[in-house]
Amino acid sequence: MDHSSQLVALNATIQPSRGMLFGVDAQALAACMVAVGEPAWRGRQLAEALYRQRVTELDAITTLPKALRQKLVAEGWQVGRPRIAQVFQSVDGTERYLIECSGGDGLTVETVWMPEGDDGEAGDGSDAVSKQTRGAPGPSHLGTWDSKESNLESDPEEVSGEGKTGQRVTLCVSSQVGCAVNCRFCLTAKLGLQRNLTAGEIAGQVVAVFDRHAVEVGRDRVNLVFMGMGEPFLNYDNFMGAVRLLVREVGLSPQRMTVSTSGIVPGIERFAHEPAEFRPKLAISLNAPNDQIRTEIMPINRKWPIQSVMAAVRKVKLRPRERMTFEYVLLGGVTDRPKDAAEVARLIRRTGLPAKVNLIAWNPGPGINYSTPQPEAVEAFRKTLIDAGIPTYLRKPRGRDIYAACGQLKRTVEE
């Protein structure tokens, strides 16, 4: 099914449902308080309760007088935070959640918790001079995709998040219910776009999962990747609204966040103007060496071909030591050939940007006719990029058994 006709009206933002406090920032909460005849500083108390103490019921906000809580409830206000409706646990520790949106329409989105990361983008802003960069041999051990294999090499830039157990933690967050971009290799694309998420529904996924794992912001280091269901830059205002909430109210660093786009040029150009204090790192979902192959597997490329994406990407002012990430899904016999690797290396070098590549061996999904690449092809591809001086990492497949791996999120309530 072609969902590309859905692309037209995607930038329209959806207002938070009336009466939902979660998703409203401290300043707007202060205005809400003034509107009900309370001092503005009550808004700060509310923000503290919603985003730091993570309360889910108005009545639990004990910093507010009981009479005020009752008044707010009587006027139709509620916390309205998304809640985890179902949990799927993988043998590798990954958890995939169906999270019920707060809009009251019964829709769910998917969020994935990866306790050891996936060796892909994790949002850490630290330096990355890897063994691979220096030309040392990569892992020779690609004969298995078992995610418990520990000797796949990690991107040192991304050995970063430490949860309660001292493990790396990466949380993959959705930005839309379904997706209209229709990448041919992606299971989410099969849903089409159902609707945009609000800023509260995007940030709410993070806070709901933090609650489940008792994450302490400031002590536990969690990386966020906006790489779940949907194309964040086709829901730009709500996506950036969520980022501002997560930075300002929840207390997370934008340097521990990465947003991935399929190459929505107007979105990248807007993103380039975001102030560094609220700008996550950027990953471009490249996936092909040239326009011909890219258009076949990502029809969006017809609208914004590779060179227009690269021109937009060059406008993003990278922080010191930050690299532009290119995500590359290896499809057996389609995008994983030696000539593809050589072309990708030339393409990336021509950008002149400090860049790195995350390779993802395609995860199989029902109804999608691509092949998983051979381990030898993956290794050869990686070596070509490394030899060209491009730091290149292989993302571990996480949670394949629960359809939590990249491109596998399909809001599978039916499972």
The catalytic residue positions are 110, 406
Query: Does 183 participate in binding ligand SF4 (rule CB under 6 A)?
Result: yes
Q: Which stretch binds ligand SF4 (CB under 6 A): 175-183, 214-222, 241-249, 390-398?
A: 175-183
Smallest separation (angstroms) from ligand SF4 to the CB of 370: 13
**Which is nearer to ligand SF4, 156 or 373 (by Cβ)?**
373
Distance from C-alpha of 199 to C-alpha of 25, rounded to nearest angstrom: 10
Q: Which of 92, 231, 249, 336 binds ligand SF4 (CB under 6 A)?
A: 231
Q: CB within 8 A of 87, min separation 6: which ones?
A: 95, 96, 97
Distance from C-alpha of 272 to C-alpha of 316, rounded to nearest angstrom: 4
Query: Does 258 participate in binding ligand SF4 (rule CB under 6 A)?
Result: no
**Which is nearer to ligand SF4, 55 or 360 (by Cβ)?**
360
Smallest separation (angstroms) from ligand SF4 to the CB of 407: 6
Q: Which of 10, 169, 189, 203 binds ligand SF4 (CB under 6 A)?
A: 189
Please list the alpha-helical segments (H only) found in 169-261: 199-212, 236-244
Smallest separation (angstroms) from ligand SF4 to the CB of 187: 8
Q: Which stretch binds ligand SF4 (CB under 6 A): 37-45, 154-162, 225-233, 331-339?
A: 225-233
Q: Which of 110, 297, 407, 412 binds ligand SF4 (CB under 6 A)?
A: 407
Strand order in the sheet with 392-394: 83-89, 95-100, 108-114, 169-172, 222-226, 257-261, 281-285, 324-330, 355-361, 392-394
Q: CB within 8 A of 325, min separation 6: which ones?
A: 121, 258, 260, 281, 282, 283, 284, 355, 356, 357, 358
Q: How far is CA 212 from CA 170, 171, 365, in A?
A: 14, 12, 28
Sign of CA dihedral 191, 193, 196, 202: positive
Distance from C-alpha of 53 to C-alpha of 249, rounded to nearest angstrom: 11
**Which is nearer to ligand SF4, 231 or 249 (by Cβ)?**
231
> How crowded is residue 190: how many other Cβ atoms within 10 Å of its Cβ?
17
Q: Which of 108, 160, 194, 262 binds ligand SF4 (CB under 6 A)?
A: 262
Q: Which stretch binds ligand SF4 (CB under 6 A): 177-185, 306-314, 320-328, 378-386?
A: 177-185
> How crowded is residue 90: how many other Cβ atoms within 10 Å of its Cβ?
20
**Which is nearer to ligand SF4, 45 or 358 (by Cβ)?**
358
Beta pairing partners, 97 = 87, 111
Please tell me the count of residues contacting ligand SF4 according to CB under 6 A.
12
Query: Does 252 participate in binding ligand SF4 (rule CB under 6 A)?
Result: no
Kindly list the residues in this chain that would bind ligand SF4 in the complex (CB under 6 A). Answer: 179, 181-183, 186, 188-189, 229-231, 262, 407
